[in-house]
Amino acid sequence: MLAIINKYMKNKIKHIILNKNFLFGVISVVLLSGVFLGGMYFEYTHRPYSDRISGISNMQSPDNSVDMEPFWQVWNTIDQKFPGAKNISSQDRMYGAIKGLVGSLGDPYSVYFPPQDSKDFSDTINGSFEGIGMEIGIKDGAMNVIAPLKNTPAEKAGLKSGDIILKINASSTSDMSVDQAVHIIRGPKGTPVTLNIYRAGEKQARDITVIRDVIEVPMIDSKDLGNGVFKISLYTFGADSDRQFANAINEFLKSGDTKLIIDLRGDPGGFLDSAINIASMFLPKGDVIVTESFGGNQKDEISRSKGYGFVDPSKVKIVILVDGGSASASEILSGALQQHGVAKLIGEQTYGKGSVQDVTSVTNNTTLKLTIAKWLTPDGTWISKKGLTPDIVVKLPDTVTTTDLVLNRALQYFKDGK
């Protein structure tokens, strides 16, 4: 078994090298985060979740039925009447117009990135940026903290999944897009940003000031907890997450432990391929992991387990810890293992990010992230906005506690089987 894992990891390293050349050599990349995937929007950039990357193809001629006269009337009126219009380049105006075009879709996960935003996106893929280290998104019409990343200024300042961001540096978020919020939150190391947040259970909003820093995106931790229990914490589904997860599984198998905890709390997602490869370590070959439903005349795309066979679920008891910050790729992995009876979910309802984004290079320095499909769990359920319901729900108190109630509930489940 260990030889199979080692062979997989060698092949995976080669796979990543090829993808890296592709990513920085030409057109685009496929991300799974939000939140890589994402869906959601990381404070530093989109990090959804089951995203995929491709080039633009099948370019069509302009739609001659569209009356472009109002556009040019507004353009010329700005030239004639707006103070300082000469200080705004025509190219920047065009970027703004394209962002408005994408914004007309009313989809918070579809975004156009002008040059600087596109660079920020690339920096995020490289895994290092300056900011506070959290993912944000719009849910139920409000700007939400999806998840602070582990050991980042956002987490250390006390920001939590589900916090509603009312203001950023005194600017209201009521009419603010996620990418606008990202621009304000990002900034040089050592500088402050103040978020006015409302937290469920509290009587009034409060300010939290966070000092920006260089953020190194964490990926994975593993630990032998004793008493036959081994814990793997996955913080994001990056391009290398599946290889690192395979290393952790190697450690687990060598330990002789028979109980495995996969902690996906606060994991906003990432690369779809990573989620599929990790699920394939547990599921028999051919089992459905996720279905991408494109609608219209395009056929659904089903991703099935590759049957790596690293772990025999009949010999290992598995639980997955989840919360409101578990999204996209986290939900894909959790839903697949839960619905195939391989693992029990313990914790809180997950985020509910059920769409797939395509990330495309429009020019050599601009990018489009566009929702192209919704994804379904193995039983055909679309979890958008609803999320996944744990097999064992743990209701957390409103007051802060140092006790990890969700982890303790998992240990209890291992002990008494319920």
| Omega cis (within 30) before 49 | yes
Q: Are 239 and 19 in contact (CB under 8 A)?
A: yes
pLDDT of residue 169: 96
Three-state secondary structure string covering the chain:
CHHHHHHHHHHHHHHHHHHHHHHHHCCCCCCCCCCCECCCEECCCECECCEEEECCCCCCCCCCCCCCHHHHHHHHHHHHHCCCHHHCCHHHHHHHHHHHHHHCCCCCCCEEECHHHHHHHHHHHCCEEEECCEEEEEECCEEEEEEECCCCHHHHCCCCCCCEEEEECCEECCCCCHHHHHHHHCCCCCCEEEEEEECCCCCCCEEEEEECEEEECCCEEEEEEECCEEEEEECCECCCHHHHHHHHHHHHHHHCCCEEEEECCCCCCEEHHHHHHHHCCCCCCCCEEEEEECCCCCCCEEEECCCCCCCCCCCCEEEEEECCCCCCHHHHHHHHHHHCCCCEEEECCCCCCCEEEEEEEEECCEEEEEEEEEEECCCCCCCCCCCCCCCEECCCCCCCCCCCHHHHHHHHHHHHCC
Q: Whole-prediction pTM value?
A: 0.74
Tell me the sheet residues that pair with 392: 346
pLDDT for 398 equals 72
Instruction: Report which of 136, 45, 389, 414 is spatially closest to residue 257, judged by C-alpha positions.
Output: 414
Per-residue pLDDT of the chain (418 residues; tens, 9 = 90+): 655 555 555 454 333 222 222 222 222 233 333 332 222 233 322 333 344 445 454 556 677 888 999 999 999 999 999 999 999 999 999 999 999 999 999 898 899 999 988 887 776 655 667 899 998 888 888 999 988 888 899 999 999 988 999 999 999 999 888 878 988 998 999 999 999 999 988 999 999 999 999 987 778 999 999 999 999 999 988 888 999 999 999 999 999 999 999 999 999 888 889 999 999 999 999 999 999 999 877 899 999 999 999 999 999 999 999 999 999 999 999 999 999 999 999 999 999 999 988 888 999 999 999 999 999 999 999 999 899 999 999 998 876 667 899 999 999 999 998 8
Contacts of residue 79, defined as CB under 8 A and 6 or more positions apart, other chains included, come to 85
pLDDT in the model for residue 251: 97
Q: What CA–CA distance (Å, rounded) separates 21 from 16?
A: 9
Query: Which pLDDT value is given to residue 61?
Result: 64
pLDDT at 219: 86
pLDDT at 238: 84
* Phi and psi angles of residue 123, each rounded to the nearest 5 degrees, phi first: -60, -40
Distance CA 166, CA 309 (A): 47
Residue 14: what pLDDT? 31
